[in-house]
Structure 1
Amino acid sequence: MTYRETLVYLDDLERLGIKPGLSRIKKLLYLLGNPHRRLRVIHIAGTNGKGSTAAFISSILKESGYKTGLYISPHLTDFRERISINGKRIPSTSAARILTECKTLAARRVRGIKKPGSTSLEYLTYFEIVTAAAFSHFAREKVDFAVVETGMGGRWDATNVVKPLISVITNSDYDHMDILGANISSIAAEHAGIIKKGAPVITASSGKALQVIKKVCRQRNTRLFHINTDINYEFLKSDLKRQSFNIYPAGNNGENGVFSEFKNLTIPLLGKYQLTNACCAVAAIELLRAPERACPRGKTRKGGVVNAPWRACPRPSELISDESIRKGLSKTRWPGRLEIVNRSPLVILDGAHNLPAAKQLRKALLEFLGNNKRLILVLGILKDKEVGKIVRELVPLAFKVIVTSSKTSRAVLPDDLYKIAVKYNRNVSVISEVEEALQYALCEAKKNDIVCITGSLYTVGEARRFFAERRCSDC
């Protein structure tokens, strides 16, 4: 297949939906030579923040001189965003070759595998095929580390075939309840499915979610590190370009040397919630630097040499310096999350696609809206989200609301979204196409207004494409 043909093939697969389970991808990976077993993985799950955390970690590793693979989902404007090495997207030719190989293997029957049944792989999902392709690409390119973000949940996510060096669970909140469960404990249990014996865990979860994660860590003899309890941060200041903050060890972790103190760190990602994500990332990097201190107590060999998989670090841990952590954070790029693409008027893109993310966006917008600025909200949401609650969180903030729809069958129709939005704001317009909605918003906006495009990553992806083509002179 050509690259364009592979995209058509993947689009067809995406229409088949989601089928949680690991048996299909395990069989495909077997046929590919089990590339995932040749990777040193930092595995990241959570309701929100996992992509930002993955971006921070990969940026720090790259800055340290490591060849670092990054696997994320979904993409915003280009499929190849999902699979990258040292910030460079997988080449179209490589993507076409690997995906063609996966498609060919998926059509075969698997024989000789000691699994119940020997079924055809032709019904692999979009995410399973792409995950297998990512692992294959990283193995062929011999990356030093692979930073891997789950697609949904954890336990039955296609990425959960790896044996990670470190697992990160950013948080557990309400999203995908039809698949992950209707309460926080159930959702946290799905996220905790990525926890593996001996691989330390970092989380910023709290309440019931934290209790679930603690229980699983005890069951699997895995050490848990918690943001606030073991490592914490202090916000310093922010502007439209960056935030600065301190990170410091909490509890006894300064005494035993697990975590270090960092003063006046900066990140270019806005929103105070990103400080938690950055803290998770720094904690993960610190554990890579001192793996013998991260293992369950009493589980190291003589002389402090740690049992596998911790011996897998490809080069001396001294390569990850304090300075590379500092530079890696400051150079992190993660588009579509409180991303400013225009200054006058101020235009913000944020892929808040669920209620917890909408609440965080609301907090950020309230800070931006100081000094009586007006908000023009361009909103496009997906059907399988808590649409009414997201609308209730964001729409009352706006002077004007423009409801729209991204080019996906999952999007709420603009007329249906209008019926909900108008309950909270009388000044609502319906414009079906995202591009036209943006043009209208920019025409309506005054110099000091704020235009925010949000509701889904699909909507934000179309908006990014619009602004890239427009090439605003004052971005």
Structure 2
Amino acid sequence: MNYATAIEHLYALGHELAPKPKGSNAPRRKFDLAHMRALAEELGNPQRSFTSILIAGTNGKGSTSATLASILKSAGHSVGLYTSPHLVRVNERIKTSHDGAALRDIDDDTFARLYVRVDDAAAKLVQENKLPHAPSFFEVVTAIAFLAFAEAGVKMAVLEVGLGGQLDATNIVDPILSVITDISLDHTEWLGDTITLIAGEKAGILRENGIMITLPQHADANRALGEVAVAKNVTGINAAEYLPLRSNEAPRKDAANHYSVRVRNEDLAVDSPLAGSHQQRNIALAIATAVALDAKGITISNAAIAEGIRTTAWPGRLQRLTLQGRDVLMDVAHNPAGAWALRSYLSNTFQGPQTLVFSSLADKAVAEMAQILFPLFEEEGGRILLAPMNNPRAATAEQLSSIATELDTKAEVFADVASAMTAALSYGPGTIVVAGSVFLVGEVQALIDRGEWTA
């Protein structure tokens, strides 16, 4: 099976969170770790061949994962990084590095070969009634990642949890430690409609007598995490000591975080390409995790921490580029917390008229995100452009337009993202901000990669 066919088969599995077809009475798929464990066992339990770090949370888990993997890479460890979702190609979810080289996506041939192996194992389990149905998209890709890391001889794997924690497919590993980033309301249909319930799901990645690295946050989240940690005799590590007392520099349009922190009684210069003050929390978590790993015998020097932070690559997060001579800022901002972070960054960094290209998934808090972001673009000369994404979960043009009407906001509605971007690029001066969903940023990036617009 070639790569294109493997991808076609993979997407035919459907997305676990996709809305049910209209009129369908079929129950939603239930997550069950027993299914993932059965699949992994059939594959020889590849996840047992490397040391794992699990990272869960609502916001910042991807940035924390990318930063930590970069630190491990800079320390010379053979490292794997598993994240989700991807922006353009599914290969982005699975990266490896050896001998300090840059993290690289899994190649097409390896992905296709491992897909066949996972698919064959799953079909055998279904035939033998050891699985009630074929694995989900996420379960299959997670299994491919485990196999890829095992084959590549990865020693350390940084695994970003996909959804929640307790029942996530990544949670079949036995992590050396667990990291929990900021928690807020998201995926409430699946995880619960309160911070307490969601935090309880995230706490599912904690292990008996294990280690939890986190930061003080919402009181309900602190309480829920603390209760689980006490019940499991978990040692908690507070990453707050690695937050800057204050930024050494005012916010800059070059989108960098520059400051110093004390790490193991030494000054460490943080020079991160990840923009926004919110990233300081994610960087602190990565530093704390690196220090904890070093204490467990996984050597990571302060120099490796600084170098790893400096060389972190995590596109789509306050990412700046130029298209047709226009300044463009792309940020996934996929929930209210992310929208507030983007709003803070824009308020402190940009002046003058700006154009917003906005879209979102229908199952997100679209109205709340719009309420947070739209006012910044209602100043004289500002524009708001709305368009549905090419995604089964996407909010429709009508839904987006209705939200703008309810907020008494003037907005232009387009049939698709490409049309909205083309219009934005044709308008007057000012920055174009693309925000509202990982899938929106990914769709725009795919169009850029195909040469839709010139730099």
Same fold (TM over 0.5): yes
Q: Secondary structure at the match of 2:329?
A: strand
Q: 2:38 is matched with which residue?
A: 27
The question of 1:450 aligning with 2:431 is answered yes
Aligned equivalent of 1:406, options 374, 382, 389: 389
The question of 1:240 aligning with 2:253 is answered yes
| Contact 2:242-2:287 within 8 A present in 1 as well | no
Q: 2:285 is matched with which residue?
A: 280
Distance in structure 2 (CA, Å) of the matches to 1:426 and 1:201: 44
Matches within 5 A, 1:6-25: 6-15=6-15, 17=17, 19-25=30-36
| Contact 1:247-1:279 within 8 A present in 2 as well | no
Aligned equivalent of 1:439, options 422, 443, 451: 422
Between stretches 68-77 and 217-226, larger displacement belongs to 217-226
Q: 2:221 is matched with which residue?
A: 209
Q: 1:163 is matched with which residue?
A: 174
Q: 1:332 is matched with which residue?
A: 312
Distance in structure 2 (CA, Å) of the matches to 1:140 and 1:89: 14
Distance in structure 1 (CA, Å) of the matches to 2:60 and 2:267: 21
Matches within 5 A, 1:42-441: 42-86=53-97, 87-109=103-125, 118-120=129-131, 122-206=133-217, 207-228=219-240, 230-234=241-245, 235-237=247-249, 238-241=251-254, 242-248=256-262, 259-291=264-296, 313=298, 317=299, 320-342=300-322, 345-370=326-351, 373-398=352-377, 399-424=382-407, 426-441=409-424
Distance in structure 2 (CA, Å) of the matches to 1:177 and 1:103: 31
CA offset at residue 424 of structure 1?
A: 3.2
CA offset at residue 33 of structure 1?
A: 0.4
Query: Structure 1 residues 190, 377: CA separation in 2 closer, same or farther (over 3 Å shift)?
Result: same
Distance in structure 2 (CA, Å) of the matches to 1:137 and 1:61: 18
CA offset at residue 219 of structure 1?
A: 1.6
| Contact 1:382-1:412 within 8 A present in 2 as well | yes
2:370 partner letter: V
Distance in structure 1 (CA, Å) of the matches to 2:142 and 2:267: 35
1:239 partner letter: R
| Contact 2:414-2:420 within 8 A present in 1 as well | yes
| Contact 1:341-1:467 within 8 A present in 2 as well | no
| Contact 1:380-1:459 within 8 A present in 2 as well | yes
1:362 partner letter: R
In the superposition, the TM-score normalised over structure 2's length comes to 0.90
Query: Structure 1 residues 223, 15: CA separation in 2 closer, same or farther (over 3 Å shift)?
Result: closer
| Contact 1:77-1:462 within 8 A present in 2 as well | yes
| Contact 1:381-1:455 within 8 A present in 2 as well | yes
CA offset at residue 432 of structure 1?
A: 1.8
Percent identity of equivalent pairs: 33
Distance in structure 2 (CA, Å) of the matches to 1:137 and 1:422: 48
| Contact 2:268-2:306 within 8 A present in 1 as well | no
| Contact 2:387-2:416 within 8 A present in 1 as well | yes
**What runs of 5+ residues in structure 2 fail to find an aligned partner?**
18-28, 98-102
Q: 2:25 is matched with which residue?
A: none
Q: Secondary structure at the match of 1:264?
A: strand
Distance in structure 2 (CA, Å) of the matches to 1:132 and 1:420: 39
Q: 1:298 is matched with which residue?
A: none
Paired residue total: 430
Query: Structure 1 residues 443, 203: CA separation in 2 closer, same or farther (over 3 Å shift)?
Result: same
CA offset at residue 425 of structure 1?
A: 5.3
Distance in structure 1 (CA, Å) of the matches to 2:294 and 2:16: 42
Q: Secondary structure at the match of 1:349?
A: strand
Q: Secondary structure at the match of 1:123?
A: coil
Q: Secondary structure at the match of 2:70?
A: helix
Between stretches 464-473 and 239-248, larger displacement belongs to 464-473
Q: 2:23 is matched with which residue?
A: none
| Contact 1:27-1:110 within 8 A present in 2 as well | no
Distance in structure 1 (CA, Å) of the matches to 2:215 and 2:428: 38
CA offset at residue 450 of structure 1?
A: 1.4
1:104 partner letter: D
String of CA shifts for 1:436-471, please: whole Å, max 9, x gaps.
21111011131xx11101111111001112333449
Distance in structure 2 (CA, Å) of the matches to 1:330 and 1:382: 32
2:335 partner letter: N
1:12 partner letter: A
String of CA shifts for 1:15-48, please: whole Å, max 9, x gaps.
4545322011100000000111112011100001
Q: Secondary structure at the match of 2:406?
A: coil
| Contact 2:38-2:130 within 8 A present in 1 as well | no
RMSD over aligned Cα atoms? 2.0
| Contact 1:396-1:425 within 8 A present in 2 as well | no
Between stretches 415-424 and 347-356, larger displacement belongs to 415-424
Distance in structure 2 (CA, Å) of the matches to 1:277 and 1:435: 32
Distance in structure 1 (CA, Å) of the matches to 2:81 and 2:50: 12
Q: Secondary structure at the match of 1:224?
A: strand
| Contact 2:252-2:349 within 8 A present in 1 as well | no
